[in-house]
Amino acid sequence: MTSSSVAAPERTVPRQGATTVAHTIPEIDGQDLKVLVEAGYRWLERHRDIVNALNVFPVPDGDTGINMVLTMRAAWAEIEHSSETHIGRVAQAVAQGALMGARGNSGVILSQILRGMAHSFRDKASIGPRDLAASLRAGSETAYKGVVKPVEGTILTVVREASDNAVRAAAVTQDFDFVMAHMLESAGEAVEKTPLLLPVLAAAGVVDSGGKGLFYILEGMLRGLRGEAVQLAGQPLLDEPKFASISVDPLNLPPIRYGFDVQFLVWGNNLDVEAIRAQISAMGDCPLVEGSSTLVKVHVHHFDPSVPLAYGISQGFITDVVVENMDAMAAAGMAPDDVKDELAWGSGRAVQMTAHAVHNVGVVVVAPGPGLEKVFLSLAMGPMAVVAGGQTMNPSTQDLLEAIESLDTDEVILLPNNSNVILAAQQAHRLAADLMPQKRVEVVPSRTIPQGINAVLAITVQDDLDKNVNNMTGALTDVITGEVTIAVRDASFDGVDVKKGDAIGLLDDRLSARGDNPAAVLFTLLEQMDAGDAENITVYHGDQIDSTAAETLEQQLIAAYPDQRIEIIYGGQPHYHFIISTE
């Protein structure tokens, strides 16, 4: 009997809008699981900012809450409209959604927990509390196996201790409320103990963010089981479009100054990339045409979007059409230059491919800004896809898989370029083996943008995939990375005391400097990086630094380091004023 039947009130999980129930629930089915998954997702989303704030370093890129919410959202989307009552099949859909939508390290680990849980009752039409407890233990074991070097004091510890307590509770009673309440209690205690297991958490005065996110998911599920509210009325959803509300007064229309941003893909059998580039470049501003004989990406600013679109249609089959009115966006409050920068880069996944390939190994790179995208593309010797992402906007496993698939090559190297994207990259690598068996994918675990750039520079045309992977991996250690941003809270690490609003510097992911302004911290970092002994100093400036400030900085660096080769390059990355590399 399913949970939708009125004949079994003793076990049905309350549906949305129902009042809290006190009766025992000894068994649940697929529709009941839907209630729990949505409740866990909504409750986590309600507390995402709390989870985001649990950042070890006081940098403005706390994104664990966002990553876990988006992972849960992808899981919920797979079952939102499902009427399936078989819990095994519903759980498999949840796991698949989480697997493809996983973002960041915590999101990937969460997807592994859900995968292990789904596997444990894949053949069951309904489950009891003991099955649930056993599934959480299976999820814990799967998650531990999915991490090369498991670290205690993280979400792994929380899920393990929660599952252990759930198993003990299920041995006492066959009531879901009792078992899940003990599961949640144990998870909460484990979260509070994480600073005792991981000294860096104790130094920062925070608990583990991933573990806290899991706690909120479990708490939401318990509330869903009891029929309690999990979302505030009118609470804004995550990921609202950046330009979601643009209102135009018909009696006071904005001036026409910028026109339209037009983007589309052209598919064909024998496309002439150079001819398309010449035509698009002659049409308007900010032209960008990259691709191959079968697929070309076009971007241009034009006052009449029908002109580039008509030309695209004359060349082949066009898809992924985007037309944005830049004047309307400027009227909504964005500065004109910012409008153009944002539109040229986009807030989602950006895929480009080199037009003149001299190497048959494809490369997928993750980059957090339009300038850095161009840097990577300029270095490519073969097919390359650039996925928009980095801190605060970690790409999903699905994003990386689509980029891998977009490359017309059987061998692909994946560069995550961020420590919080490595697990998603490794998950994409594993899934690609099943979904794209004709392709061989390898991950070079770059943790920073300079490491990724150095890895691309290490590619040689004459070497095969294995040799290039070895060369690129070795190149990761040849570069030192510095980053400059603004502290979002007070903190103290390794003798460096910072206050909220201070400019701070990270040296290879370690807080090492503070100052009154980003430029001063940059010079402090260069001293710590022994820049005077380096041959090259490269600074990628973010979207907070205008061209005048960048030129002034370049002159200051040349004066301070006359024997080094200095490069100041627009990166366009958010949050970080400067990304620095010395080698």
Which position has the higher pLDDT, 273 or 523? Answer: 523
List the one residue out of 518, 516, 511 whose CA is nearest residue 492: 511
Between 423 and 349, where is the model more confident? 423
φ, ψ of residue 522 in degrees (nearest 5):
-60, -45
Question: How does pLDDT run across 118-134, given as a tens digit for each residue?
Answer: 999 999 999 999 999 99
Predicted confidence band at 523 (pLDDT cuts at 50, 70, 90)? very high
Percent of the chain with pLDDT strictly greater than 90: 54
Average pLDDT over residues 226-239: 63
543 φ/ψ angles, rounded to the nearest 5 degrees = -75, 0
- pLDDT tops 50 at residue 234: no
For helices 104-120 and 87-101, the axis angle rounded to 10 degrees is 160
Choose the most confident range, by mean pLDDT, from 101-105, 113-117, 235-239: 113-117
- Return the sign of the alpha-carbon dihedral for residues 352, 358, 361, 365: negative
DSSP H or E segment with residue 485: strand 480-486
DSSP per residue, 396-458 = BHHHHHHHHHHSSSSEEEEE--STTTHHHHHHHHHHHHHH-TT-EEEE----SHHHHHHHHHT
pLDDT at 255 exceeding the cut of 70:
no
Q: 562 falls in which pLDDT band (50, 70, 90)? A: very high
Q: How far apart are CA 102 and CA 37, in angstroms?
A: 16
Indicate the Cα dihedral angle 440, 450, 493, 573, nearest 10°. -100
Q: Are 30 and 89 in contact (CB under 8 A)?
A: yes
Say if residue 414's pLDDT is above 50. Answer: yes
* Residue that the structure tokens 């001819």 belong to: 275
**Given a cut of 80, is residue 5 above it in pLDDT?**
no
Return the structure tokens found at 541. 């400036």
Indicate the average pLDDT of the chain: 84
Tell me how far apart the alpha carbons of residues 379 and 456 are, in angstroms, rounded to a whole number.
7
Q: Provide the pLDDT confidence category of residue 200 given band limits of 50, 70 and 90.
A: confident
Min mean pLDDT across 250-259, 398-407, 454-463 is at 250-259
pLDDT at position 291 is: 67
Q: Give me the pLDDT at residue 61, please.
A: 66
What domains, with CATH codes, occur in the chain? 28-226 (1.25.40.340), 254-345 (3.30.70), 347-472 (3.40.50.510), 480-582 (3.30.1180)
The pLDDT-based confidence of 253 (bands split at 50, 70, 90) is: low
Q: Output the pLDDT for position 331.
A: 61
Residue 509 has pLDDT above 90, yes or no: no
- If you compute the radius of gyration of the chain from its CA atoms, what whole number of angstroms results? 26
- Show Cβ contacts of residue 562 under 8 Å, excluding neighbours closer than 6 positions: none
pLDDT above 50: residue 394: yes
Q: Identify the pLDDT of residue 14.
A: 57
Question: Please, which pLDDT band fits residue 444 given cuts at 50, 70 and 90?
Answer: very high
Q: What is the pLDDT of residue 39?
A: 95
> What mean pLDDT do residues 206-213 have?
95
Residue 579 has pLDDT above 90, yes or no: yes
Strand bridging mode 295-302 / 260-267: antiparallel
DSSP assignment of 97-154 = HHHHH-BHHHHHHHHHHHHHHHHHTTT-SEE-HHHHHHHHHHHHHHHHHHSSS--SSS
Q: What's the pLDDT score for residue 249?
A: 57
Lowest mean pLDDT among 101-105, 203-207, 388-392: 388-392
Q: Which residue has the higher pLDDT, 213 or 252?
A: 213
> What average pLDDT does range 537-563 have in this prediction?
92
Closest CA to 128 of 176, 93, 198, 82: 176
CB atoms within 10 A of CB 439: 16
Of 29, 2, 27, nearest to 176 (Cα)?
A: 27
pLDDT-derived band at 299 (thresholds 50, 70, 90) equals confident
Please give the Cα distance from 103 to 99 (Å, whole number). 9
d(Cα 476, Cα 343) in Å, to the nearest integer? Answer: 32
Please check whether residue 449 is in contact with residue 372, taking contact to mean a CB–CB distance below 8 angstroms: yes
CA distance 111 to 41: 13
Structure tokens at 212: 């806290």
Residue 400 CB coordination number (10 Å): 29
Residue 51 confidence (pLDDT) above 70 = yes
Where is average pLDDT lowest: 20-24, 182-186, 389-393?
20-24
**What are residue 317's DSSP bridge partners?**
267
Least confident of 90-104, 223-237, 500-514: 223-237
* Tokens at 166, concatenated: 């759930």
The answer to whether 247 and 328 have CB atoms below 8 angstroms apart is no
The per-residue pLDDT for 12 is: 56
Q: How confident is the model at residue 464 (pLDDT cuts 50, 70, 90)?
A: confident
What does the pLDDT read at residue 15? 54
Q: Are 482 and 461 in contact (CB under 8 A)?
A: no
User: Sorting pLDDT into bands at 50, 70 and 90, what band is 460?
Assistant: confident
CB 95 within 8 A of CB 117: yes
Q: What is the 3-state secondary structure (H, E, C) of 525-565?
A: HHHHCCHHHCCEEEEEECCCCCHHHHHHHHHHHHHHCCCCE
Tokens of 357: 């390939």
CA distance 208 to 206: 7
Q: In whole angstroms, give the CA distance from residue 478 to residue 476.
A: 6
CA–CA dist 149, 169 (Å, integer): 30
Candidate from 4-8, 88-92, 547-551 with smallest mean pLDDT: 4-8
Mean pLDDT of 331-336: 48
Q: Which residue has the higher pLDDT, 239 or 417?
A: 417
